Chain A
Amino acid sequence: MNEFFRIFIIPGGLLLLFMLLALVRLILGPTTPDRVVALDTINTLVVAGMVLVGAAYEEVIYIDVAIVYALLSYIGTLYVAKYLEERPKK
């Protein structure tokens, strides 16, 4: 591995740490929308991290997976939002 490996893999590891912070909110979150926000944040961080890892290993396949992950996680968020909206009031 060359010197660029280190430059890109360390920020990737830091992003993993921030994902853990968001995971705390996912577990604590008092209401369901809070948890969805935390999940959305984790998804964005995963995409950013995958791009960094792809640059570190100089492999394009990581970034292809990141694109598909971004679009699918967006659709997941929309589904959960739709579900929350339609839920009958107590």
Chain B
Amino acid sequence: MGILLIVLYIFLTIGIIFNCLGSIGLLRFPDVYTRLHASTKNTTFGSIFTCLAVIIFSFYQLHLTQDSKFLVLALHTFIALVCLLVTNPTGAHAISRAAHRSGVMPKQAVIDQLKEAKLK
């Protein structure tokens, strides 16, 4: 019980801190590409840890009560986590490619080989 609480607190704290950094980075960075860095990486990582906390909690409750509701809770949380892990980087890639093709250039860039290459 005590160990479970400590683990839950640690995981939820890590998750909340990284989600917070993701939102702050979204406000703080200068252009769309660096904002994508902050939002994609940090919110994905934070969500992994909050979901892991929920999975650990439901396995503990399953062990305690033998109620199959908690097994379903753990399984569905895992599926939600997999969905997030697959869709987040793909969405970020789609946004960055669309931004570059619609003419939004990176600010303060020291090099832009994509602009030199002129794809299409």
| Cα of A19 to Cα of B23 in the assembled complex, Å | 8
Q: Is the CB of A78 within 8 A of B83?
A: no
How many residues does chain A have at the interface if contact means C-beta atoms less than 8 Å apart? 47
Find the residue from B15, B23, B39, B79 having the highest chain A CB count within 10 A: B23
**What 0/1 pattern do residues 45 to 57 of A give for CB contact below 8 A with B?**
1011001101100
Could you tell me the dominant secondary structure of chain B's interface residues? helix
Interface size class of B (residues with CB under 8 A): 35 or more
Q: A41-B39, A70-B83, A81-B94 are in contact. Are A18 and B23 (CB under 8 A)?
A: yes
Q: A24-B27, A33-B104, A67-B76 are in contact. Are A82 and B98 (CB under 8 A)?
A: yes
User: B73 contacts which chain A residues (CB < 8 A)?
Assistant: 54-55, 58, 60, 63
Among A22, A64, A70, A82, contact of B84 (Cβ-Cβ < 8 Å) = A70
Interfacial residues, chain B to chain A (CB-CB below 8 A):
5, 8-9, 12, 15-16, 19-20, 22-24, 26-27, 32, 35-36, 39, 43-44, 46-47, 50-51, 53-54, 57-58, 61, 69-70, 72-73, 76-77, 79-80, 83-84, 87-88, 90-92, 94-99, 101-104
